[in-house]
A and B are shown apart, each in its own frame.
Chain A
Amino acid sequence: MMKSRPLTSTAAILVVALLMASCSNKQVSRIEPDTVTDLSGQWNDTDSRLVANALIEQSLTDPWLGRYSNANGGNPPTVIVGQFRNRSTEHIPVSTFVNDLENAYINSGAVTVVAGDAQREQIRDERDDQQDNARADTRAGLGQELGANYVLQGELNSMQDEEETTRFGATRKEQIVFYQVDARLVDLESNAVVWAGQHKIKKYIERKPFGL
């Protein structure tokens, strides 16, 4: 009877360990895409959304649209989306907010957007293929592409500043992350910048010791 005690304790420890392991369960839930969810403090979907919202607001309410429209009998300007460079130290998919801006242009009808260089080649291949293989009355005509009046370009820059303070063995970390997104619409003929938009995001990230 005396010898069975260690065995019981071992079994009890095992059961507790098993229970603890099963307690670290994963929880996944769908949440609204516009919910602010800052975890690490790095660039995330909220930043992308804020940039997109700001650039859409700035570009669709700026007088450049009216100026073009007035000079061209009410026709909307044609824009091609060019290069947006990520000059920050983080890996940031700039196409998320660039696509939001492009979608806003298309859906508003205030701007005509033409396919960029990546899509263009595929479409041209398809059109060339139609000339050989499609029925004559259904072929897409050649030389009917819309020439863009403006090219949308931009870049994303970031800066960081941080400091660690150690007191009684505990380290407190503060970090400032600053992002600046600049977008420009450049006249393809004259190189004149007809619109320039900008959005800045500044984050303060504080990591306290022991969650204090």
Chain B
Amino acid sequence: MNRYLLLGMLFLLAACVPKKVEEQPIMENNQRAGDASATVAAASAQAEQDRANASAERGAIQAEALADCAPAVCDAVVRGEIALGMNEVQVLAATRTTGDAWTIRHSGPSLVMVPEDERVVPSDVVGNVAMVQLADNRVSRYGYSEAQGIRLVDEPYDATTEGRAEALAESLTREGDELAARGDLDAALDRYDRVSVLTPGDPMVDYKIAAVLDKALRPYEAMIQYQLFLHRLNLETIEAEGAAAAQLAEAIALAQQRLVILERQAR
């Protein structure tokens, strides 16, 4: 009996032994923690080498790009902006990049340059470049990656400030329409307001703003916008444009109808 009691006590004592951590230390007092100077030195040497190589390559690209370029293209290269009519080397010069930045795909006489890495896209002074298409070694189309999506430039007007504003206004209008359809009237109004800044005097924008305000139960502001819409329209011009203005004519009728209703409610 005593033997069992003793064994039991021993067992209990063994269970009470502290949970000792049996790991060998990897660093102890008086050792050296070292520093990262070797890593920094290696990175420095590598960066210096890369910079020298890239600088030489960029210099050669710039020289070749500016050697025999049309004045407008030369101006664009110096400004750092892609332009229609540039060749491949001039695109590299305008974006201050080398061939490493691009994946170049050939397809017959056509060539498409897209960023090598989508996480770090090349850019010119206008913005991040999504793609450049060349036909017969001349830029025929290029696109910028912008907040509203890809903006394409395939004619000289698209590259102007007005052209850019127009493209931006179009994408914002599309976004506003989607938001209005989803019932997010405040966000839709915000997009249409931005469009009205980019393309002032567009009666269809005024109409959309009026309609959204009307739906958002803001009658007084809606009335002003409907009136502005009607004021801006030259009905005779619209009639002269015939079928092309059918959509506007319908909007006019709706605006007039809403004005009558809103004015009655206001009384």
Residues of A with Cβ closer than 8 Å to B? 32, 34-38, 46, 49-50, 52-53, 56-57, 60-61, 65-76, 100, 104, 107-110, 163, 165, 172, 174, 176, 187, 189-190, 192, 194, 204
Whether A60 contacts B39 by the Cβ 8 Å rule is yes
Check if A34 sits within 8 Å of B120, measured CB to CB.
no
| Interface segment, one of B52-60, B149-157, B180-188, B210-218 | B52-60
Tell me, yes or no, whether B101 is within 8 Å of chain A by CB: yes
- CA A66 – CA B119 in complex, angstroms? 12
Q: What per-residue 1/0 map shows which CB atoms of B101-140 lie under 8 Å from chain A?
A: 1000000000000011101111000001000000000000
Q: Are the CB atoms of B44 and A67 closer together than 8 Å?
A: no
Query: B interface vs A, CB < 8 Å?
Result: 18-21, 23, 25, 27-36, 39-44, 46-48, 50-51, 53-55, 57-58, 95-98, 100-101, 115-117, 119-122, 128
Tell me the minimal C-beta distance from A175 to chain B in angstroms: 10
What residues of A have a CB within 8 angstroms of the CB of B47 in the complex? Answer: 65, 76, 108-110
Leading 6 A-B pairs by shortest Cβ distance: A74-B54, A110-B47, A108-B43, A56-B36, A70-B100, A60-B43
Among A34, A56, A74, A194, max chain B CB count under 10 A is at A74
A residues less than 8 Å from B53 (CB atoms) = 74
Q: Told that A49-B35, A69-B50, A110-B47 touch, could you supply 10 new A-B pairs with CB distance under 8 A?
A: A66-B50, A67-B119, A70-B101, A70-B117, A71-B101, A74-B51, A108-B44, A174-B18, A174-B21, A204-B23
**Residue numbers in A under 8 Å from B96 (CB-CB):** 72-73, 75
- Once bound together, how far apart are the Cα atoms of A68 and B40, in whole Å? 18
**Contacting residues, chain B, for A37 (C-beta < 8 A):** 29-30
CA distance A88 to B48 in the complex (A): 39
Docked pose: A60 CA to B41 CA in angstroms? 10
Bound-state Cα–Cα, A161 to B51, Å: 49
A198→B19 CA distance, assembly (Å): 29
Are the CB atoms of B29 and A36 closer together than 8 Å? yes
Cross-chain contact of B29 among A38, A52, A165, A194 (Cβ < 8 A): A38
A105 to B30 Cα, complex, angstroms: 29
Distance between Cα atoms of A70 and B118 in the complex (Å): 12
B44 — which chain A residues lie within 8 A by C-beta?
107-110
For B41, give the chain A residue with the smallest CB separation: A108
Nearest CB on B from A188, distance (A): 12
**A60-B43, A71-B117 known; A53-B51 Cβ under 8 A:** no
- Say whether A36 contacts B32, CB under 8 Å: yes
Is A176's CB under 8 angstroms from B21's CB?
yes
Q: Which residue of B lies closest to A66 (CB)?
A: B50
A71–B55 CB distance below 8 A = no
Bound-state Cα–Cα, A36 to B34, Å: 10
